[in-house]
Chain A
Amino acid sequence: MAPIFSSHFKSLGRTPPSIVFAIFCLALFGLITLFVELDLIATDYRVTHYSQVYLPPSFEFPMGTDFLGRDMLSRALHGVSIALIVGFLSAFIATVIGLLLGVIAGFWGGLWDEFIVWLYTTLDSIPSLLLILALSFVLGQGLEHLFLVLGLTSWVSLCRLIRSEVIKQRSLEYILTAQALGVGQIRQIYYYILPNILHIALIQFALIFVYAIKAEVILSFLGLGVEPGEPSWGVIINDAKSELTQGIWWGLFIATTLMFLLIFSVNLITDFMRKKLDPQYHSSH
């Protein structure tokens, strides 16, 4: 978009193998989601086989079957798409709100700032878990409620960081110069400030993404997640709590493994981005 932002990436240098691995995993998960949503793979995730309940992994069912005889691998792959959708949309909603309010508060200040700071102080004063629980409690189950609730409740720290960074940037010489040259305010924000704060939004986006996927598991355990029957990882892991004592480990195993791969990849990339994109991040080596 703007030249300043791309210069951040030029300084990345050699990409370590762990990051290559993480990007490969994310691409794979993206492809799985695409194919699942297009109904190309894992189409039998709802097909029940009552004579084949709790089958251990075999050639026909690579990850076994669940209590209704449904193919566990198909269900877990569907879980990939649910997790990516929940994570991505929650992070998207939170980033848009946080970025918009943070820039408004930081750039224009005054009453806008007072109001926005009041708004996020208020939201921050309610323990976040309880806020999420209360919201999902009144909204009820469902995928669209899930990302709405998680997105609406997790923009505060992003907004706070963006606001203070915009306040800092606003008084720097390049902005003063732009003002002196008569650059319009919207243009100042879009072409000058935004490229310099976007790395914060990017890192926060990744953090909220991970947070939302983990929160989905906990909300599903509480019966506040996706609708029953939808194979989210939270539902699959939650089913395992009574099954593990009977030696049925495959559902828990596949859901946890896939979730681990996804979150670990995002965590690795976030850590890398932080080191490389954030000038404030000091590292001894």
Chain B
Amino acid sequence: MKRYFLRRFLYTFPTLFGVSLVLFFIFNGIGGDPAYQLAGKNASLEQIENLRQQLGTHQSLLHQYKDFLWQTVTLDWGQSWYFKENINSMLLKGLGPSLALTVPSFFFTLLLALSVALSFSYFRSEKSHSLLTWFCLSLMSVSFLTFIIVFQYLFAFKWGLFPINGWSQDFPFVLSFLLLPWFISIIVSVGPDILIYRTLFQEEINKDYVKTAQAKGLLTTQILYKHILKNSMLPILSLLLSRIPQLLLGSLLLESFFGIPGLGGIMIQALQNADFPMVKAITMMSSLVYILLNLLADLLFLLFDPRVELK
């Protein structure tokens, strides 16, 4: 067990190294010199030279890579070009609204998808299953952007049930801004989840212990809740754990449409205004968090499932 922990922990270092290489290659390698992009077409050589001094792109690639690594290690990303603010404090500020958007919808989606999948496992007729498949597949076939535009138009603009966009610091009041984004986010993610959970439940239903339980005379509901749900918990858990890192990022589209001041919105503005340090910082920081949380998830999974093979 300890050896597995250690191995898994040590493996994060080559991954970290790889991530830093890939991101450095993207930003400093194929991106060319950002000074040219930033300065625009009519810049003089002097302006470009100034920018290069600021960016550090006049130095050798190795030196630039060293700077990039140093920034990552010290977590010091400096100032955003567009917002003119310290990047770290901006990211911290954006984290709260992003989590307020993603965490509740994550749990609502989980509850809804699990209960739909479980109740359809109770009805085993072929017709109801194809209907459910069709329903989920059609939800998955509409663009996220269409859902947002249409629902915002209908619920907020036309019928005035929710504010069109905005944010507030008071707790109960802020809910009015969050309800519609939560709803859209559930609609978008519930389809594939129902299908995944249903497949997992079906796999369990075909196993022998279910036949034994039926032969013993257990009620179908008992078998579903006590046996099937419990036994499919592990794959579901590993799926959920692998999604936790994404929650931190918030939602690019929802945040920008509903004016939620989270990380997604910051990222969009940074992209649209060619804010290199910001884009770089968000990408690298979230990869760091991703790696850490994945490590944690693997270890947690080990604690939950004694059957995981330790190699």
A: which residues have CB within 8 A of B?
A: 18, 118-119, 121-123, 125-127, 129-131, 133-135, 137-139, 214, 217-218, 221-224, 233-234, 237-238, 240-241, 244-245, 252, 256, 259-260, 263-264, 267-268, 271, 281-285
Contact between B149 and A139 (Cβ–Cβ < 8 Å)?
Answer: no
B residues touching A (Cβ–Cβ < 8 Å)? 11, 14-15, 18-19, 21-23, 26-27, 30-32, 124, 126, 129, 133-134, 137-138, 140-146, 149-150, 153, 157, 199, 202-203, 205-206, 245-246, 249, 252-253, 257, 267-268, 271-272, 279, 282-283, 286-287, 290-291, 294
Q: Would A285 and B133 be within 8 Å (CB), given that A130-B282, A259-B143 are in contact? A: no
Known: A121-B15, A130-B282, A134-B279. A263 touches B141 (CB 8 A): yes
The reply to whether B140 and A263 form a contact with Cβ atoms under 8 Å apart is: yes
Other-chain contact of A217, B144, B157, B206, B272 (Cβ < 8 Å): B144
> Once bound together, how far apart are the Cα atoms of A214 and B191, in whole Å?
15
Q: Are B253 and A221 in contact (CB under 8 A)?
A: yes
From the candidates A129, A223, A237, name the one contacting B252 in the complex (CB within 8 A): A129
Return A263 CB to nearest CB of chain B, in Å.
Answer: 4
Q: Within the complex, what minimum Cβ distance (angstroms) separates A21 from chain B? A: 11
Majority DSSP secondary structure for residues of B touching A: helix
Q: For residue A131, which residue of chain B has the nearest CB? A: B283
Interface residue from B150, B157, B271 paired with A133 (Cβ < 8 Å): B271
Minimum CB distance partner of A122 in chain B: B18
- From A118, A240, A245, A267, B137 is in contact (CB under 8 Å) with A267
From known contacts A134-B26, A138-B31, A237-B146, infer whether A218 and B253 are also in contact, taking CB-CB under 8 Å: yes
Residue of B146, B150, B279 with most chain A CB atoms under a 10 A cut-off: B146
Task: Give min CB distance, A274 to chain B, whole Å.
Answer: 9
Q: Contacts A118-B15, A234-B145, A256-B146 known; A282 to B206 CB distance under 8 Å?
A: yes
B26 surroundings in chain A (CB, below 8 A): 134-135, 138
Known contacts A127-B249, A282-B206: does B267 contact A133 (CB below 8 Å)? yes
Q: Is the CB of B294 within 8 A of A240?
A: no
Contact across chains for A252 and B150 when beta carbons are under 8 A apart: yes
Rounded to whole angstroms, the CA-CA distance of A234 and B145 in the bound complex is 8
Separation of A259 and B142 alpha carbons in the complex (Å): 7
List the A residue with the shortest CB-CB distance to B29: A138
- Asked if residues B290 and A252 are in contact (CB atoms below 8 Å), the reply is no
Q: Which residue of A lies closest to B274 (CB)?
A: A137
Select B286's contact among A122, A127, A283, beta carbons within 8 Å. A127
A122-B18, A138-B31 known; A237-B271 Cβ under 8 A: no
Complex Cα gap A22–B263 (Å)? 39
Other CB < 8 Å A-B pairs besides A125-B18, A126-B22, A130-B287, 5 of them? Answer: A121-B15, A126-B23, A130-B282, A271-B137, A285-B129
